[in-house]
Amino acid sequence: MNDSTIPPTSAEGPSRGARSAPGGGSAAAPAASVGGPTSAEGPARGARSAPAGGSAAAPAASVGGPISALAADVDAWEKNEVASFVRRAPERAAEFRTLGGFPLKRTYTALDVADTPQDDVGLPGRFPFTRGPYPTMYRGRLWTMRQIAGFGTAEDTNRRFKYLIAHGQTGLSTDFDMPTLMGYDSDHPMSEGEVGREGVAIDTLADMEHLFDGIDLETTSVSMTINPSAWILLAMYVALAQERGYDLHKLSGTIQADILKEYQAQKEWAFPVAPSVRIVRDCITYCARNMKRYNPINISGYHISEAGGSPLDEVAFTMCNLIAYVEEVLKTGMQVDEFAPRLAFFYVCQADFFEEIAKFRAVRRVYAKLMRERFGARNPESMRLRFHCQTAAASLTKPQYPINVVRTGLQALAAVLGGAQSLHTNGMDEAFAIPTEEAMKIALRTQQIIAHESGVADVVDPLGGSYFVESLTTQYERAIFGVIDEVDRGGGTMRLTQEGWFQRRIADFAYESALKKASGEKPVIGVNRFVDPEEKFAIELHPYDASTAQRQIARLQRVRRERDNAKVTGLLEHLVDVAQREDENIMPVTIELVAAGATMGDIVEKLKALWGTYRENPVF
């Protein structure tokens, strides 16, 4: 995992320099160079970023016995059968690459896994967890089917929750509107026109009471996709649980709370970087002591990908952000094994089927090695990477939108074969608006068909041992460590985030991808291939209720009238006092505040007066 294991060539990452390189297929290398450090053996990015990919097999000349015989056999096959066949029937392209730019050989053999130690592949549930975090995986319990929902007021979303539960969903996931995400109350001028439009509006604890009305939070896992104001939503969740008399240690689920990727990719923040990371630290330490089953962070590669980042950067950047968060928590004196078992991750599943499977397997291996070798974890639970997965919203199209069901089905299958712990499948109409109930039911049924009809859940890591998958897994592992090493050399994640390094890499890959779509080099069915010029859209869209803002603001104003304002004012001053002392945890006073009726805007605006906000240096 260190520099000595990473080939030092700059041509071993996904190609960024050769923008015109088609996603075609190259012939296998001659036996003398099979698996060697040639540009065809790793994802070549050029000298700019130089993350190492690396070959998956040692040069044949250096290996004796059966491997040498196999190398000679492959060489003869290339010169005879392949050469003869290609003369008569040329291949579709001069070279083939994965969506992320890793070059693909014509076929893979034992040569391509000769330098992958068997211990790196291992067994499911055993370090380094390449084949899955648990020994029996889906033979014991299927992944959580967690369809996201959120629109209108809390009552509106509560009805959608119950609809999904009635159709077999096994966990809840909540989307919030832009004012909630950014920490504005619904009656703030910045909230006009946005209340409840892209997610559910939450201002106060009263909203949370309605959001989870009739839902047992001790038996239902709840995920909340929110970042700059995540700690306030967590505080409301805790206050609601206390109000109902729940045991906090029985609550399960997660807040996202991954603020670093906001500065890098999604662009939602309230405060500067340092105090924002301090809040993440406080969420992690609070939950480690008070909510043993709850994940206080969901370190997200999904939004890095949706912003245009490569599959490699999606997972590599989460590892860089992980390192920053772990280092911050360790500064409090908490030991890594006290909090690491509840760290969780969130990834996308893109269109390149085998690349996505290899990506998930590789990042589990990288995480296990980081936690054990860099941070000294001893508990195996601290080394198991667990992740939620969502199919790729950015891959959905308006043209011929029903075929989005097929895209989603293939992506979901790859997520399952890659070992996801929970999964959201997108609705076929999400390119237009918030999905309708019918679209969500079809998306949920997609997961249920994979789980109960396909048979893929009956064998743990059924693609383990595939020459291709294992080779690509090893290349991904080495490339991820290459990015981590580059970030370490550049001064670490927080410094490079503020300098725009992560943002530039995302922008570069996004630009290259846009050019490939525009030229047709990257096929998108219905958009640049097999276009239907006569298509007419006859689609029922999820409606936006114009009364949403009025209903939401009425409840917000009622809470303000009925609360003890003197108590809230006093607690807000105590909040500032706590925020000024780096060694104190901000969660307890925030829980007191929301229980007393403080609004999200009250809390965020008070801290903005202390910490200020963040201004990004634009990246072009």
User: SS3 for 217-245, per residue?
Assistant: CCCCCEEEECCCCHHHHHHHHHHHHHHHC
Residue 541: pLDDT above 70? Answer: yes
Structural domain contains residue 205: yes
Same domain? For 167 and 236 the reply is: yes
Between CA 55 and CA 37 the distance in angstroms is 6
Parallel, antiparallel, or unpaired: how do β-strands 253-255 and 222-225 relate? Answer: parallel
Identify which of 216, 185, 146 has the alpha carbon closest to the alpha carbon of residue 412. 146
Amino acid of residue 454? S
Given a contact cutoff of 8 angstroms between Cβ atoms, the answer to whether 132 and 461 are in contact is: yes
Predicted local distance difference test score (pLDDT) of residue 65: 79
Instruction: Specify the 3-state DSSP secondary structure of 145.
Output: strand
Same domain? For 112 and 150 the reply is: no
Structural domain contains residue 459: no
**In this structure, what are the phi and psi dihedrals at residue 112, rounded to the nearest 5 degrees?**
-80, -5
Predicted local distance difference test score (pLDDT) of residue 14: 52
Same domain? For 242 and 184 the reply is: yes
Same domain? For 108 and 153 the reply is: no
Predicted local distance difference test score (pLDDT) of residue 29: 36
Between CA 552 and CA 176 the distance in angstroms is 13
Identify which of 505, 618, 529 has the alpha carbon closest to the alpha carbon of residue 100. 505
Percent of the chain with pLDDT over 90: 86
Structural domain contains residue 266: no
The CB density around residue 328, as the number of other CB atoms within 10 Å, is: 18
Domains of the chain: total: 2
Percent of the chain with pLDDT over 70: 90
HSE on the CB side for 354, CA within 13 Å? 16
Residue predicted with more confidence, 9 or 358: 358
Query: What does R_g of the chain's alpha carbons equal in angstroms?
Result: 25
Structural domain contains residue 84: yes
pLDDT tens profile 438-453: 999 999 999 999 999 9
Given a contact cutoff of 8 angstroms between Cβ atoms, the answer to whether 340 and 371 are in contact is: yes
Distances from the Cα of 507 to the Cα of 13, 313, 482, 614, angstroms: 17, 11, 19, 20
Structural domain contains residue 27: yes
pLDDT tens profile 548-575: 999 999 999 999 999 999 999 999 999 9
Between CA 397 and CA 409 the distance in angstroms is 15
Instruction: Specify the 3-state DSSP secondary structure of 6.
Output: coil
Residue predicted with more confidence, 310 or 26: 310
Structural domain contains residue 14: yes
Given a contact cutoff of 8 angstroms between Cβ atoms, the answer to whether 525 and 176 are in contact is: no
Mean pLDDT within 154-164: 96
Domain boundary at 119, 135, 164, which? 119
Same domain? For 104 and 174 the reply is: no
pLDDT tens profile 367-412: 999 999 999 999 999 999 999 999 999 999 999 999 999 999 999 9
Structural domain contains residue 314: no
Cα angle value 494/497/502 (rounded, 5°): 135
Predicted local distance difference test score (pLDDT) of residue 616: 87
Residue 1: pLDDT above 60? Answer: no
pLDDT tens profile 179-220: 999 999 999 999 999 999 999 999 999 999 999 999 999 999
Mean pLDDT within 478-487: 98
Same domain? For 156 and 62 the reply is: no
Predicted local distance difference test score (pLDDT) of residue 57: 38
Structural domain contains residue 371: no
Given a contact cutoff of 8 angstroms between Cβ atoms, the answer to whether 102 and 43 are in contact is: yes
Residue 427: pLDDT above 80? Answer: yes
**Peptide linkage before 128 cis (omega within 30 of 0):** yes
Same domain? For 168 and 102 the reply is: no
Residue bearing tokens 């997200």: 300
Same domain? For 104 and 179 the reply is: no
- Structural domain including 108 reads 3-119
Same domain? For 167 and 237 the reply is: yes
Same domain? For 575 and 614 the reply is: yes
Domain boundary at 80, 100, 119, which? 119
Domain boundary at 119, 135, 160, which? 119
